[in-house]
Chain A
Amino acid sequence: MAVKKFVVGSFDDEAVLFPAVKKVRAAGYRIHDVYTPFPVHGLDHALGLRETSLHTAGFIYGITGTTTALSFMSWIFTTDWPLNIGGKPHFPLPAFIPITFELTVLFSAVGMVMTFMYLCQMAPFVKKHIFHPRQTDDLFVMAIELTEKTRAEEVKAFLDSVGAKEINEQTAETGWWLGRWDREDKLFSKPAEPVNA
């Protein structure tokens, strides 16, 4: 994807993080992302992210399952091989309900999980840059992207003023790559040119 420069601030309390996010955004800095060890409610709104449409996708997968099951069973029993089972009707709708329901759930669940994996770009052997090893433990890690308008020192001072505990500068690949987590991968030869030089 792209190699970019970041100033990274780590917070140890979500009660400090929220006002910090507000102030950083108000100051006009570009927050690349905030990494948290657990879902912090309201943080997505604080960052100005839109609602996810994943559930809509789930609904569409669900009705696909419904129609697949119903049309497949009806076609088999009425057209492809109308079998006389104890003189019962060829189109026994009530008897189709259980399988129709199961396939609705199956399609919806499998489809949603696949979509989730695709949107979040997750799979075995996928590697991504981890800004702080404790972002999955107890730290709330905010990565601010450096642009031509921002100076690293200034951002660091600002993060310090809003309560970040640990502040540093990092050059990182923003996308994913394939690799093993027990090995350090060298993705770029030298740190990207500081854009604000």
Chain B
Amino acid sequence: MADTALPLEAGTTVNRPGLLNRIFLHNLPAKIAALPMMATVLVVFVGCTVWTIYYSFTNSKLLPTGKFIGFEQYERLFSTSRWNVSVSNLIAYGLMSLVFTLVIGFVLAVLIDQKIRFESAFRTIMLYPFALSFIVTGLVWQWIMNPTLGLQGTLRNLGWTGFTFDWIANPRMVLFALLIAGLWHGTGFCMVLMLAGLRSVDDEIWKAARIDGIPTWRTYVSIVIPMMRGVLVTAVVIIGSGIVRLYDLVVALTNGGPGISSEVPAKYVYNYMFSGGNIGQGLAAATMMLLTVLIIMIPWAYLEFGGKGRRT
């Protein structure tokens, strides 16, 4: 493991020859203690990523031994309807989920911030779904949305015969079914983040706005939300990177169905790697997911860390 750490260590010390020995012996226990971290960074986060990108350019089928074939896997990827459906699903679901999570999270946080009674009870109720797994979430909602015995069947039995809530079995509505379950799981958490943001705004600001006669809603829109920029950006990054990973919920709720109407990229990757026997294709799809995250991350990292350099 120490060997794998060599290139980077050596690279940072070329400017000061002669100190090389001290670089390795200095702080030796700390370096030994940090070996698992170095190994994780170099082998997993750097090594595995490079490996995945490299082998996405090969024609590997059952074993990753194929030869280099350029962008063929990617051409095939984007001519596969299942992948294209997955991508457009993710975009549609992602935008809806992002907007609704932020809006609901913010509205709930504002309501809870109005010096209400039972505040902690409301918070407890709103956050508990976040403690449950996506599998549990998906299975409960699958049962609630069961067309014959769930909500639809119940209301029809109670006399509302025209009631329709068959989203889970309807290819055009299944993304909304996913959305209901996803929002149930995640909005409480967004509310907690937003509430922390709201309460970090100085009370003096509120007093000043009240003295100036600015209406409350206007204070929120023009003063408080801009002041919460940090929390909002954090929330967007967290929700966004969660959306790209969307997998368990789909497996539990719809398993991609009906047909392929609720497939998502993460599921595509898994299926090609572990049951489709086409590793190159799965790796190409995984690389596209990586690219998506980089597109989200780089502007954020630039905003957050750019300019003043690293923060401590």
Q: Report whether chain A binds chain B.
A: no
